Amino acid sequence: MALVGAVAYGRRLRIWLWTALIFGLFTLGPFLQINGQYIYNLDGVKTAFPMPFALLHYIPIVKANRAPNRNSVLLMLALAVLAGYGVHWLMGQFAKKRVVDAGMQRLGSALALAIGGLMVFEHLALPAPLSDARIPAVYEQIAADPNPVSVMHVPLGWRNSFGTWGPERTQLEYYQSAYDKPMLGGNISRAPDFKMDYFKRIPFFQALHDVQTMPRADVNEELVNLASAQAADLMYLYNVGYVLLMPPIPDRYPYVDHWPAAWEFAKSVLPLEPQPFWADEGIEAYRVVQPPGRAQFRIDLGALGTYPYRGEGWDVAEEATNYDVSAIWATDLHSRLFVPLRQIDAAASYAIQVQAHPFMLPQSVTLQVNGTSWPSQPLTDGWQTLTWQVPGHALINGLNRLELQWAQTAIPRQINPGNRQIGSTGVALPIDADLKAFAEGGFIALFDEAGEQQNASAGRRGINVTLLDAAGAVLEQVGFDTTANAFESQKLAEYIFGLPDGQIALLVSNGPAWAYLTAEALDSLRRLGIELTLDQVQERYFAAAGVAGSQPGSAALVVDAPEAFLRISLETDRRSLAAAVDWVQVQSAEE
């Protein structure tokens, strides 16, 4: 009927025709798929055919509509309008008859009824698909536990509006309604990238992800060892009281292929009781063996293994040294920490201490504990210990959320930018540049103000030359293969002698550029301020930046045997820095 309407009223329904066509293509997904196949063999070459939906993935905001079938809403809306006009045209043909007998009337009515019946039949879903909404009885026992513990399931995964990590199962979130406790994993819409990245950078979750999604033999054993070493600490941090091993849903890949290995991994690395306290309906439920714990905690933030305790607002380095001690930068106005505590005495007082060094003065910091703020304290230059007295009733027997709220942040590149002077030529490079020359390559990398890299080397063996204009744009990039013959050296000399005065040039050698490098070619480099001899470049690599017409010896030049690296740049650190934090400690105020 939609086709009839389109043919009969094409001009009037143009907008609906285009809507049906465009959104019909979008519903086909990112690749052409026929009978479940989207990889095609064309004379031995395996390929796929991209569809328009793939473009949506790269458009901000629009990419959040990540499921192709969601476009069927507008497709069906357009088809409904077209089909309506099709029925209107068809029924109009009967009305045009000058003489309508009873038989014709009955035929028209039957036709209208048949069309309606076909439309209903087209959208029938019989037998009606049903999901088992019964919640396993094990959750009744978990709900009866008065302790504020959390729950972990295998399979474990996360999903947001832009992707999935691990075999996330939304059914488990429905089960959560029966026990009303926190759980690891789940689905959250339009969350910041950090919410997913937090779990991706922790070895335990990396290993579990791999065990759930790939053959066990392909999982990195070093990663498994790291996961095993931190598993108990993570269960303590998240206050996990129960681990439930769930059977696979048929045809739900990849977990359906790897669930036995995932179960075995969980049993071998997690601190579980030897036997499940509940085993039925294909589920094995275990209690987690937790230590008694203490009402104190200390963390050295610059050391390895602190990722799980760092929330938003910290540098991404796994470990770091700042101001000569193991410390991590706070990189936002709000820096969160996750602190596990047990046996808190609500009537007692606790000291929360932070060892910090401000990046720039003036600086002050406010402490927020589980949503309650405590007075701001000023920082002075150098390392200092800040202390807040917090009553026990402000702390939690479990996961506590501490937030350091800084008065300001500053960007090193803006505070102390440095300069881009090209040697002693008196000319500044208009853009950041890294030059590297070695046996297997010669790289010239340019960086704009946002830090985006542009590769600017011609990439040839021998000597590569890149010319820049006054704004830092690449005018030309050429290579002269002085590893092959002396003619290339002659061409290099002619090229350099032909450059106008004031022209900025970047040079890197690639491989044994000295093989056919002539004295004439080196003499031409003097015009750029690069002073080299044949003896200096033998078995060595060089990187240089010069200016045509400058004095010999005034260029920026590095010559070295293993590799030559030259950086001409403003301060490269573009992070926002508040302070370096060495350690954070929670303990009784009486200690």
Look at residue 49 and tell me if it is in a domain: yes
C-alpha dist (Å) from residue 422 to 429, 449, 495, 538, 554: 6, 18, 21, 25, 8
Nearest by Cα to 493 from 514, 467, 519, 532: 519
Span of 9-23, 440-454, 569-583 with lowest mean pLDDT? 9-23
pLDDT band at 105 (very low <50, low <70, confident <90, very high): low
Between CA 560 and CA 437 the distance in angstroms is: 9
- Which pLDDT belongs to residue 89? 84
Q: In what order do the strands lie in the sheet with 334-341?
A: 334-341, 398-406, 363-369, 372-379
Q: Give me the mean pLDDT over the 406-423 stretch.
A: 95
pLDDT band at 395 (very low <50, low <70, confident <90, very high): very high
Q: Give me the mean pLDDT over the 338-342 stretch.
A: 97
Tens digits of per-residue pLDDT, 370-391? 999 999 999 999 999 999 999 9
Q: Which residue has the higher pLDDT, 107 or 144?
A: 144
Q: Give me the mean pLDDT over the 256-270 stretch.
A: 96
Q: Give the CA angle between residues 587, 310, 384 to the nearest 5°.
A: 55
pLDDT band at 461 (very low <50, low <70, confident <90, very high): very high
Look at residue 51 and tell me if it is in a domain: yes
Look at residue 374 and tell me if it is in a domain: yes
- Which pLDDT belongs to residue 117? 83
Helix/strand/coil (H, E, C) string of 285-336? EEEECCCCCCCCEEEECCCCCCHHHECCCECCCCCCEECCEECEEECCCEEE
User: Given a cut of 70, is residue 103 above it in pLDDT?
Assistant: no
- Which pLDDT belongs to residue 96? 66
- Which pLDDT belongs to residue 251? 86
pLDDT > 70 in the chain, percent: 98
Q: Give me the mean pLDDT over the 414-423 stretch.
A: 94
Q: What does pLDDT average to over the chain?
A: 92
Nearest by Cα to 314 from 337, 294, 298: 337
Residues 447 and 554 in one domain: yes
Between CA 578 and CA 364 the distance in angstroms is: 9
Look at residue 349 and tell me if it is in a domain: yes
Between CA 231 and CA 409 the distance in angstroms is: 35
C-alpha dist (Å) from residue 362 to 138, 331, 411, 482: 56, 16, 14, 56
- Which pLDDT belongs to residue 485? 94
**DSSP SS3 for 457:** coil
Where is 463: in which H helix or E strand? strand 462-468
Q: Which residue has the higher pLDDT, 390 or 99?
A: 390
Residues 584 and 475 in one domain: no
Residues 152 and 252 in one domain: yes
User: Given a cut of 60, is residue 29 above it in pLDDT?
Assistant: yes
Residue 517 makes CB contacts below 8 A (sequence gap 6+) with 463, 482, 489, 534, 537
C-alpha dist (Å) from residue 244 to 158, 160, 167: 17, 23, 15
- Counting every residue written for the chain, the total comes to 591
Q: Which residue has the higher pLDDT, 570 or 36?
A: 570
Contact 482, 516 (CB under 8 A): yes
Q: What is the number of domains present in the chain?
A: 4
Q: Give me the mean pLDDT over the 344-369 stretch.
A: 97
CATH number of 382's domain: 2.60.120.260
Examine the fold and report which residue of 48, 78, 93 is the final residue of a domain before the chain moves on: 93
**DSSP SS3 for 61:** coil
Look at residue 248 and tell me if it is in a domain: yes
pLDDT band at 409 (very low <50, low <70, confident <90, very high): very high
User: Given a cut of 60, is residue 214 above it in pLDDT?
Assistant: yes
Residues 85 and 195 in one domain: no
Q: Which residue has the higher pLDDT, 226 or 108?
A: 226
Helix residue spans in 38-157 (DSSP H)? 53-56, 72-95, 102-122, 138-143
Rounded to a whole number of angstroms, the distance between the first and last alpha carbons of the chain is 82
Examine the fold and report which residue of 255, 287, 319 is the final residue of a domain before the chain moves on: 287
pLDDT band at 396 (very low <50, low <70, confident <90, very high): very high
Burial of 23 by CB count in 10 Å (0-12 exposed, 13-18 middle, 19+ buried)?
A: buried
Residues 389 and 495 in one domain: no
Residues 221 and 333 in one domain: no
Contact 567, 532 (CB under 8 A): no
Residue 169 CB coordination number (10 Å): 22
Residues 442 and 555 in one domain: yes
Q: Give me the mean pLDDT over the 147-163 stretch.
A: 91
Look at residue 132 and tell me if it is in a domain: no
Q: In what order do the strands lie in the sheet with 563-568?
A: 453-455, 441-447, 432-438, 563-568
Residues 367 and 483 in one domain: no
User: Given a cut of 80, is residue 544 above it in pLDDT?
Assistant: yes
Residue 296 CB coordination number (10 Å): 16
- Which pLDDT belongs to residue 97? 60
Residues 388 and 259 in one domain: no
User: Given a cut of 80, is residue 277 above it in pLDDT?
Assistant: yes
Residues 59 and 7 in one domain: yes
- Sign of the torsion formed by the C-alpha atoms of 171, 177, 179 and 180: positive
Between CA 42 and CA 46 the distance in angstroms is: 6
User: Given a cut of 90, is residue 252 above it in pLDDT?
Assistant: no
Residue 208 CB coordination number (10 Å): 27
Residue 507 CB coordination number (10 Å): 28
pLDDT band at 552 (very low <50, low <70, confident <90, very high): very high
| pTM attached to this predicted model | 0.79
Tens digits of per-residue pLDDT, 471-500? 999 999 999 999 999 999 999 999 999 999
User: Given a cut of 60, is residue 98 above it in pLDDT?
Assistant: no
Which residue segment(s) compose the domain that 582 sits in?
A: 309-413+578-588
User: Given a cut of 60, is residue 100 above it in pLDDT?
Assistant: no
Look at residue 426 and tell me if it is in a domain: no
- Which pLDDT belongs to residue 574? 94
Where is 583: in which H helix or E strand? strand 579-588
Nearest by Cα to 503 from 532, 461, 475: 475
User: Given a cut of 70, is residue 104 above it in pLDDT?
Assistant: no
Q: Give me the mean pLDDT over the 220-246 stretch.
A: 96
Q: Give me the mean pLDDT over the 453-479 stretch.
A: 96
**DSSP SS3 for 128:** coil
pLDDT band at 131 (very low <50, low <70, confident <90, very high): confident
Residues 263 and 386 in one domain: no
Residues 276 and 231 in one domain: yes
Q: Give me the mean pLDDT over the 82-106 stretch.
A: 73
| Amino acid, single-letter form, for residue 208 | L
- Which pLDDT belongs to residue 493? 96
